[in-house]
């Protein structure tokens, strides 16, 4: 069974940092691109970042570029999102998603981890 | 930057009805890389359709997708109680690399 489990969320002050993790099981992590998507409370979905299988191709949304960094450890089947210089508008549930169909979408999602940026 | 606009914002229908949800892009979607996701309250999204018209694994055939270029449609042929949710379209390939529509809420009439 495919499973993705995010962790590392919590409350942090503006300007602070957090690192999110996504642990996967039930599939060969090193064979799939991966994505981070977020959802602010009561709002829609927003793509955050994507990473190719080997890590050769990395993309970040303009809203997080220079502050967030996606990375992966294929030996541990872990996906990460390092979030620095956090702002109130980064408050959201953060989901990791498995890339599929040539990376054009996510076919499985985790249950999400909540990040709250507040003083 | 490509923008996806979904309509209507809210659709009120009854079980057994046919639902038609629209997603319009501000520019042509690269290779028709348009997907649809369903999200129920408190749950993660679930992929329904990829590549405009391909059902994801395990998705019932009452869900179908169509469209080309800038206009795309998700059709649910006969609504079941479990289909009432929020639906998002999502494109891949244009700047930004991924983007989502604002969502259509399908509610019970």
> How does pLDDT run across A85-96, given as a tens digit for each residue?
999 999 999 999
pLDDT at B10 over 90: yes
Q: Do the beta carbons of residue B73 and residue B22 sit within 8 Å?
A: yes
pLDDT at B95 over 80: no
pLDDT at A49 over 90: yes
In this prediction, residue B25 has a pLDDT band, given cuts at 50, 70 and 90, of very high
Q: Of A60, A65, A5, which Cα lies nearest the Cα of A29?
A: A5
**Mean of pLDDT values over A54-81:** 95
- The pair phi, psi for residue A99, each rounded to 5°, is -75, 145
Provide the pLDDT for residue B97.
87
Q: Of A102, A113, A86, A90, which Cα lies nearest the Cα of A40?
A: A90
**Between A44, A62, A109, which is nearest B96 by CB?**
A62
Nearest CA in chain B to A48: B98
**Mean of pLDDT values over B45-74:** 97
Disruptive mutation site among A52, A97, A104 for chain B (greatest number of B CBs within 10 Å): A104
Q: Do the beta carbons of residue B98 and residue A51 sit within 8 Å?
A: no
Q: Of A75, A70, A117, A76, which Cα lies nearest the Cα of A97?
A: A70
**How far apart, in whole angstroms, are the C-alpha atoms of residue A65 and residue A59?**
9
Provide the pLDDT for residue B96.
81
A101:B57 CB<8 A: no
State the pairing for strand pair A78-83/A68-73: antiparallel
- What is the per-residue DSSP string for A24-80? EESS-GGGS-EEEEEE-TTS-EEEEEEE-SSSS-EEE-TTTTTTEEEEEETTTTEEE
State the Cα torsion B20-B108-B39-B7 to the nearest 10°.
Answer: 40
């Amino acid at each position: 069974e495919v499973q993705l489990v995010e962790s590392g969320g919590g409350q942090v002050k503006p300007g602070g940092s957090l690192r999110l993790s996504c642990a996967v099981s039930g599939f060969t992590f090193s064979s799939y691109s991966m994505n981070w998507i977020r959802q602010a409370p009561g709002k829609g979905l927003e793509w955050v970042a994507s990473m190719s299988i080997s890590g050769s191709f990395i993309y970040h949304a303009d809203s997080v570029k220079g502050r967030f960094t996606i990375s992966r450890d294929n030996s541990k089947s872990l996906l990460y999102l390092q979030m620095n210089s956090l702002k109130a508008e980064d408050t959201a549930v953060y989901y990791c998603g498995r890339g599929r169909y040539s990376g054009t979408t996510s076919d499985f999602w985790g249950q999400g981890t909540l990040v709250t940026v507040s003083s | 930057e490509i923008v996806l606009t979904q309509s209507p914002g809210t659709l009120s229908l009854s079980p057994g009805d046919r639902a038609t949800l629209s997603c319009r892009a501000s520019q042509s979607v690269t290779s028709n890389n348009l997907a649809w996701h369903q999200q129920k309250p408190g749950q993660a999204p679930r992929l329904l359709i990829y590549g405009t018209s391909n059902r994801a694994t395990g998705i019932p055939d009452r869900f179908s997708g169509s469209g080309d270029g800038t206009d795309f449609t998700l059709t649910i042929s006969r609504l079941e109680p479990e289909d009432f949710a929020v639906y998002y379209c999502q494109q891949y390939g244009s700047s930004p690399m991924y983007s989502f529509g604002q969502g259509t809420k399908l509610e019970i009439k």
